[in-house]
Structures are given as C-alpha cells and as structure tokens.
C-alpha cells in the first residue's frame, strides 16, 4: 500500500483513514507493507511519530530527503515486524527527486499464485471532469508556485 500526506495535510485524517482501510482487509496471515511520504520526520522525536508508531512499525531510520545541511526521514516503510523477521532497508539514491528512494529486501515472503486480476476503470465524462476541476481548487498550490517562481 502506498500513502502520501501533504505537509499541510490533516494528520488525524491520515491516521484514522489508514486505520480504517487496514481494518477492512486485515487477516492474521496478511503480510502488509506500507510505504510513502507521510511527512513525519523519523530522525526526531514527536507526538505524531509516537502516534504513528503505535499503529505501525517504521523501519527507515536514515535520511530520505536532504537540502543543504538539513536532512529528514519523512518517507518511510512500515511493516509488521512479527511477520517480516529477516529484512533490510537501505537508501537508494536515484537523483530523480529531492527525496531518495528506499529499498526493502525481505528474505522470506511466501507469495502464492493468484488467478484473479483487479482492473480500475475511470469513467471520464463531463461530470467527472468538473468534479476533478473542483477538487483541484481545494489543493494547496503554494509549494508548486514557489518552485515555479524559482524556475522562472
């Protein structure tokens, strides 16, 4: 599962929404891996970090984003450390972004062959286009605008 929370995003909404989603498909045999940019710095101690740790086990404790002399670990991988006992997580510097990737290697995962497929179909019509435009109006574009001003 991939998760992304904007730095200005509602933390409680993320916590409650993620908890609800996990509960909908959780079973005792589930080997869940969650990764993404959650904008909680795991290099420092905070209430948000403690709340997230109460629900999930973070395994990335190295910088994932550096700017000048300042580094953070706001991108992370969360696993059930009782089910994934033998694993390694390491930084993967790809130069494509201001965030570095993380590489998770699990030494034992029993993947069973599945014969079903999931298809996502998006209905693109006048209603869905207008709904998309409306949702874009509620997005915070301040970071994007600052970047654009720097480039111009």
Mean pLDDT of 132-140: 78
CA 144 to chain centre: 20
Name the burial class of residue 3, with classes exposed (0-12), middle (13-18) and buried (19+) by CB atoms within 10 angstroms of its CB: middle
Question: How does pLDDT run across 75-88, given as a tens digit for each residue?
Answer: 999 888 777 878 88
Predicted confidence at residue 132, as pLDDT, reads 83
Task: Give me the mean pLDDT over the 107-113 stretch.
Answer: 61
Residue 113 clears pLDDT 80, i.e. is over it: no
Q: Is 142 a residue whose pLDDT tops 50?
A: yes
Of 63-72, 91-100, 102-111, 137-146, the range with the highest mean pLDDT is 63-72
* Domain segments of the chain as ranges: 2-126
Q: How confident is the model over 37-43, as a mean pLDDT?
A: 89
Task: Give the per-residue pLDDT at 117.
Answer: 73
When comparing pLDDT for 107 and 14, which is higher? 14
Return the pLDDT at 148. 47
pTM here is: 0.65
* CATH code of the region 2-126: 3.60.10.10
Residue 102 has pLDDT above 50, yes or no: yes
Tokens 């009782």, located at residue: 82
């Amino acid at each position: 599962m991939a998760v992304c929370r904007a730095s200005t995003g509602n933390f409680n909404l993320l916590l409650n929404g993620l908890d609800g989603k996990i509960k909908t498909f959780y079973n005792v045999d589930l080997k869940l891996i969650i990764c993404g940019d959650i904008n909680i710095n795991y290099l420092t101690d905070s209430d948000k970090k403690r709340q997230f740790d109460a629900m999930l086990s973070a395994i990335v404790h190295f910088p994932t984003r550096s700017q000048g002399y300042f580094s953070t670990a706001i991108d992370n991988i969360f696993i059930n450390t009782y089910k994934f006992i033998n694993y390694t997580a390491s930084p993967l510097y790809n130069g494509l972004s201001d965030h570095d990737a993380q590489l998770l290697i699990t030494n034992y995962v029993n993947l069973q062959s599945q014969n079903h497929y999931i298809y996502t179909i998006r209905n693109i019509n006048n209603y869905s286009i207008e709904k998309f435009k409306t949702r874009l109006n509620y997005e915070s574009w301040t970071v994007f605008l600052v970047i654009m001003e720097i480039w111009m």
